[in-house]
Amino acid sequence: MITTKTLIKGGRVLDPASGFDRITDVLVMGKTVVAVGNNLPEGEIVVDARGKIVVPGLIDIHVHLRDPGLTYKEDLISGTRAAAHGGFTSIACMPNTIPVLDTSEQVRNLVKRARQEALVNVFPVAAVTQGSEGRILTDFQALRDAGAVALSDDGKVIQNSELMYRALLKGKDLGLPISQHAEDSYLSANTVVNEGTVSAKLGVKGDPAISEGLIVGRDIELAACTEGHVHIGHISTARAVAMVRQAKAMGIRVTAEVTPHHLLLTEEDVLKIGVNGKMRPPLRKREDVEELRRALADGTIDVIASDHAPHALSEKEIDITYAANGIVGLETAVGLILTFLVHPGLLKLADAIAAWTYKPAQIFNLYGKGRINAGYDADITIIDLHKKWKVDVDEFYSKGKNTPFNGWELTGKPVLTMVGGKIVWSEEGGIC
């Protein structure tokens, strides 16, 4: 078997886990990084990275691939092409498919299909309860052994406290984090946007901030008494952030993720962008956005995740009361964060990259991922921090075009994505 040698030359290599930040070269042999430094031997393939940053392959731990059962929205091929285009080398896919990803057989089948069809690494997140119905726990060990890296009923909260307690206990024993969709099912039922002035203007039922706080507070208490690991998906309120910050200070095993849209948009934006401002949890108030930004910058929030949620236009371009929740995010996430947080100095570049690399790898136990260092997988993203571009849904690889960011002018873009030593997408060559 011939092993391909690739030399990435002259880029600013940034490895946040170690603090390494230097203009140098990276040598890849086969699927592995073998050296980082100067005066490395030439490869059969040479990538000129001068003027760009070379970082560990980006990881998105909250993606809806819609496969199986909802492939008119997205599938393994289109979703992973979108990931590669967005600079992501690994994604974790949520279980709210048809059928729900709740058996070891389904997980094994997804892993097998991903190896054959996917352009990037796909890590399954399996359901906590059978059918994600919140009644009977799934077989955690069988799911883990089949390849699940975490468990979640995402899209639905685990409302039953006893079930969540048992889930955290089992997850602890097996090394599986439980990722929670933190919205109280009673307070959030049939809501459209955040509860406040905008919901009043639109004449629709609003989701109060305490809906998130109730579940986050409860789950922190459960994590404290079980010593299990609770991961808060798409955190959206200052109240919940304060709870996570305090819990971390107490040594409780809680981690949290935030989406680009919750970092950039407020409930007021819904009045301008309409249905593409409808998601779960909803866009919140300006003070919530400001606290989310502070929490990401100080490490209270661990991860940036897109919550990539593709829908057919027919499901979005209807009355906002009935429109589907969510937006696509894989192909815009990096540009948005660089443009509106990193370049203005609200978030350090190394902290942004950390939130997409070694931190999600640690949370979901993705061995060999999240670092550029000898012996690690050759998953690498090259980013041009200064490249100016305009979001254009017609250039998306995703089937979903449901984004509020179409037409936005951004600065900073991935220009090459390498997975397992193979260039799978580049700005010059497209999908490879």
End-of-domain residue from the set 363, 389, 418: 363
Q: Verify that 357 and 397 share a domain, yes or no.
A: no
To the query of whether residue 307 is one of the catalytic residues in this protein, the response is yes
Does 278 reside within a domain? yes
Q: Which two tokens stand for residue 100?
A: 């729900």
Q: Is residue 343 annotated as involved in ligand binding?
A: no
Whole domain around residue 393: which residue ranges?
5-54+376-431
Res 173: pLDDT: 98
Does 107 reside within a domain? yes
Contacts of 124 (CB under 8 A, 6+ apart): 92, 93, 95, 101, 107, 110, 111, 146, 147, 148, 149
Q: Is residue 64 annotated as involved in ligand binding?
A: yes
Q: Is residue 294 annotated as involved in ligand binding?
A: no
Q: Is residue 181 annotated as involved in ligand binding?
A: yes
Does 136 reside within a domain? yes
Quick: pLDDT tens for 247-301: 999 999 999 999 999 999 999 999 999 999 999 999 999 999 999 999 999 999 9
Alpha carbon 230 to chain centroid, angstroms: 16
Q: Which two tokens stand for residue 37?
A: 């430094």
Q: Verify that 413 and 384 share a domain, yes or no.
A: yes
Res 3: pLDDT: 80
Query: What whole-number distance in Å separates Cα of residue 44 and Cα of residue 28?
Result: 10
Res 257: pLDDT: 99
Q: Verify that 349 and 424 share a domain, yes or no.
A: no
End-of-domain residue from the set 337, 363, 389: 363
Provide the residue-wise pLDDT of the chain in tens; the chain has 432 residues: 568 999 999 999 999 999 999 999 999 999 999 999 999 998 899 999 999 999 999 999 999 999 999 999 999 999 999 999 999 999 999 999 999 999 999 999 999 999 999 999 999 999 999 999 999 999 999 999 999 999 999 999 999 999 999 999 999 999 999 999 999 999 999 999 999 999 999 999 999 999 999 999 999 999 999 999 999 999 999 999 999 999 999 999 999 999 999 999 999 999 999 999 999 999 999 999 999 999 999 999 999 999 999 999 999 999 999 999 999 999 999 999 999 999 999 999 999 999 999 999 999 999 999 999 999 999 999 999 999 999 999 999 999 999 999 999 999 999 999 999 999 999 999 999
- Give whole-number Cα distances, 235 to 164, 290, 307, in Å: 18, 13, 11
Q: Which two tokens stand for residue 61?
A: 């731990």
Does 359 reside within a domain? yes
pTM greater than the 0.95 cutoff: yes
Q: Is residue 66 annotated as involved in ligand binding?
A: yes
Does 10 reside within a domain? yes
Give how many domains the chain has, as a whole number.
Answer: 2
Contacts of 24 (CB under 8 A, 6+ apart): 11, 13, 36, 37, 38
Closest alpha carbon to 104 in 58, 62, 153, 139: 139
Given the residues 288, 307, 377, 384, select the one marked as catalytic: 307
Does 295 reside within a domain? yes
Query: What whole-number distance in Å separates Cα of residue 387 and Cα of residue 385?
Result: 6
Res 266: pLDDT: 99
Res 43: pLDDT: 87
Q: Verify that 79 and 46 share a domain, yes or no.
A: no
CATH number at residue 192: 3.20.20.140
CATH number at residue 405: 2.30.40.10
Q: Is residue 62 annotated as involved in ligand binding?
A: yes
